[in-house]
Amino acid sequence: MTSPGVTSSRDRAPAALLAAAADGDRVALARLLSLVERGGEPGREAAALAYRSGVEARTVGITGAPGAGKSTLVDRLITVARADGSEVGVLAIDPTSPFSGGAILGDRVRMQDHALDEGVYIRSMATRGHLGGLAVAVPEAIRVLATVGLPLVLVETVGVGQVEVEVAAATDTTVVVVNPRWGDAVQANKAGLLEIADVFVINKADMPGAAETRRDLEAMLDLSAVGDWRPPVVETEAVSGVGVEALWGEVTRHQRQLATGGALERRRRERLERELRQVLVARIEEEIRRLTGGREFAAVAADVVEHRIDPYEAADRLIREVARGDGGAPPAG
Ligand SMILES: Nc1nc2c(ncn2[C@@H]2O[C@H](COP(=O)(O)OP(=O)(O)O)[C@@H](O)[C@H]2O)c(=O)[nH]1
Ligand SMILES: [Mg+2]
């Protein structure tokens, strides 16, 4: 920035935004997260700065079917964490929405209790245009929150499908929320949530059927491979807050166990390797898009159409082109 005068956060460079956000400027923080969500060049710069800070947050993912009570639980968990004295960042992810609005608006309303608390920052994220998708955008957003001084980040995601499983993999502890409904535990299993759960919650335990759901879950846990952590099953009534302290206790216990056994380091390493892979794939796809608009692609495609070469050979040739990095642009000079 050349002008030292009053600049709106919209005009400021990522480094200036990061400094302002670390000073408690929530507008700057919101702007940073928008950049990350969009994933363009400024977003990449913001993510890189946050990465280089090396600051990591404690992270808890909360996933489960729509309506399971995730937002209500998050609202309660914020209260418990705040009582511990920790500042809290919340990311509410809606992978199905192209906009950060809609369902998230409902989430915001359910977390309204904390609207005036400066130690709490709640942000919704949608898919938008980030090249690496949510699997990259979410860890980047978490690191931004950590860097500006939020040591605990809760991530709410709708637990339906592979993307959500990937998002859940971005956190240290994953809490899977089910309800006391017939077959809910089975559905969670089918959605792949059994494998990612560190803690199970049967929320709406005030409704009939909690005991059966617990039995189903425990039976499925009996069948799955036993490591050194068996996911505990906690019953909660998020609306009244019953069981939420116990849930937080299990989350804390899990995080302590991760930290002592070296599992936290392993998890974080695996997560970064996955993130790197994801970024690499996104970058290569970007190169391919660039390439397919170019002359070299047209020439190779013509050879394929004329049956002079087969698509495999053509692809190999184009991959060499990508590796050269000139994207099939006409040779200079
Ligand atoms: N009966 C009952 N209703 C609950 C409980 N927790 C949440 N709800 C209600 O379930 C609905 C969905 O909650 P929400 O937190 O938005 O679910 P999300 O879609 O998983 O985030 C809301 O109407 C909540 O008031 C609970 O423990 N018992
Ligand atoms: Mg919600």
**How confident is the model over 60-74, as pLDDT tens digits?**
999 988 899 999 999
Verify whether ligand 1 is closer than 6 Å to residue 110 (CB atom): yes
Task: Outline where 209-327 has alpha helix (H).
Answer: 210-223, 244-261, 263-292, 295-305, 311-324
Is residue 20 within 8 Å of residue 28, measured between CB atoms? yes
Q: Which residues, 6+ apart, have CB-to-CB distance to 282 below 8 Å?
A: 131, 132, 133, 136
Taking the centre of ligand 1 as the mean of its atom positions, its distance from the CA of residue 229, in whole angstroms, is 28
Backbone angles phi, psi at 18, to 5 degrees: -65, -45
Alpha helices (runs of H) in 111-226, residue ranges in sequence order: 134-147, 162-168, 184-190, 193-196, 210-223
pLDDT of residue 161: 65
Mean of the per-residue pLDDT values of the chain: 85
**What pLDDT is attached to residue 177?**
93
pLDDT of 13 strictly over 70: yes
Q: Which ligand is nearest to the CA of 64?
A: 1
Q: What is the pLDDT of residue 273?
A: 92
Pick the closest to residue 217 from 251, 248, 183 (CA basis).
Answer: 183
For ligand 1, say whether the CB of 203 is within 6 Å of any of its atoms: yes
> What confidence tier does 59 reach under pLDDT thresholds 50, 70, 90?
very high
Give burial (CB, 10 Å; 0-12/13-18/19+) of 333.
exposed
pLDDT band at 215 (very low <50, low <70, confident <90, very high): very high
